Structure 1
């Protein structure tokens, strides 16, 4: 696992690198500015939250350009979302890289642990685990990610826990068919990933439906200065 971790760090070092609610207080409003697709000084890479191989938007039904976003952070709807597919039993991990694009260490901590579906029943869709990435050189919070449809969450994954890039958050699962999880077979098992910047907007890397992903495939970035939600890097 040391080689994988080293590779993931190296990739995170080389990559460059919600719409605000209308009712949000002006003091908290996200700075949208005229800098779409401009990279900030120190960004953090976003990877698939599944260890090993997985598939991006397997059936072409959930591209980030239009996929529903259901969670909020800091009072704002998350910036973009996508479904990452893998059969039940795959290890779910943090999507954040271990270092910024400038080489600074990144600390990731758990900020949310809750049933993912509105019913509150884990059988309807598993856990939602929210994670927050911090640039240790500046102390700045860069962004957050929500990983939903997590099964078999370890007892150690609690709010406030610090996790590394390969810390096991749980595994992919097959949940009962419901309005929250409309899956009929194991090939439809997936995690629902949502990402948000602390300021301005994060971005995703566009790719075709069904594209294969590896543990070190960069799928997006936080800390970017995009001008709005659901934008490509």
Structure 2
């Protein structure tokens, strides 16, 4: 797990699962913008959430005006071609107040290599508005399953946005073993559905690592 060296008997399955990568994509369908204002790039942006008892590896804000469809960031196959399934593991208000008006939903997703039967990584997708009723813990989601929408929430310590151009999804990623990485990009970089923004299942030595 991230943050702690865990000594286990070496097996072929474990070695393969650690080495094999899954690409990460923007969690917004269609066009979006990476770190629009130069304040939320992965090298410096705050990491809020934890999984498996460990702080997530890195975070970034990806921008799109309210009403855009939010989706899973995980690719559908590993680098070795193994199919990847994604399941919902967290659905709750994202802000500590517990009030959705302060920042929408946090939706946690877990990616699993179906060939090896191992968990690769998790991602937390935060500031989700208008979540469908079917997005509940245990649900399986595909790459285009609608998790909700980008939205505007009231200004608070959890969400400091003044206009629609500031609406964004806060994305965090964590590997099951060792650390995931992000693709370094300049502020205000345009993204598409097919832009790779990071990789999970890789084997970096610390958090906030560029691929």
TM-score (norm 2): 0.93
Report the counterpart of residue 162 of structure 1 in structure 2: 140
In structure 2, how many angstroms separate the alpha carbons of the residues matched to 1:111 and 1:135?
16
Aligned residue number for residue 225 of structure 1: 203
Aligned to 2:166: 188
- 2:33 aligned partner: 55
Aligned equivalents of 2:194, 2:169: Cα separation in 1? 17
Does the residue aligned with 2:36 lie in a helix, a strand or coil? coil
> Pick from 79, 84, 106: which aligns with 1:101?
79
The CA deviation string for residues 77-126 of structure 1, in whole angstroms up to 9 with x for no partner, is: 00000000000000000000000010010000000000000000000000
Q: Output the CA distance in 2 between the equivalents of 1:63 and 1:160.
A: 31
Answering whether residue 90 of structure 2 is matched by residue 112 of structure 1, we say yes
**Structure 1 segments of 4+ aligned residues over 2 angstroms from their partners:** 29-32
Between Structure 1 and Structure 2, which shows a larger proportion of strand residues? 2
Retained in 1: the 8 A contact 2:26–2:73? Answer: yes
Alignment partner, residue 14 of structure 2:
none
Over the aligned positions, Cα root-mean-square deviation in angstroms equals 1.5
Pairwise CA distance, 1:30: 4.2
Match of 2:21 in 1: 43
Partner Cα distance (1:216, 1:116) in 2: 27
Q: How many residues align?
A: 202
* Counterpart Cα distance in 2 of 1:124 and 1:91: 20
Aligned counterpart, 2:59: 81
Q: Does the 8 Å contact 2:61/2:170 carry over to 1?
A: yes
Match of 1:92 in 2: 70
Q: Which residue of 2 aligns with 1:205?
A: 183
1:4-54: per-residue Cα shift (whole Å, max 9, x none)? xxxxxxxxxxxxxx962xxxxxxxx3459xxxxxx9532100100000000
Q: Aligned partners of 1:70 and 1:80: how far apart in 2?
A: 9
Please list every run of 5 or more consecutive structure 2 residues that lacks an aligned counterpart in the other structure: 8-16
Equivalent position SS for 1:182: coil
Contact 1:41 1:102 in 2 (8 A): no
Q: Distance in 1 between matches of 2:41 and 2:164?
A: 20
Length-normalised TM-score, structure 1:
0.84
* Contact kept in structure 2, 1:31 and 1:200, CA below 8 Å: no
Deviations 1:132-159 (A, max 9, x none): 0000010110000000000000000000
1:132 aligned partner: 110
User: Which blocks of at least 5 consecutive residues in structure 1 are unaligned?
Assistant: 1-17, 21-28, 33-38
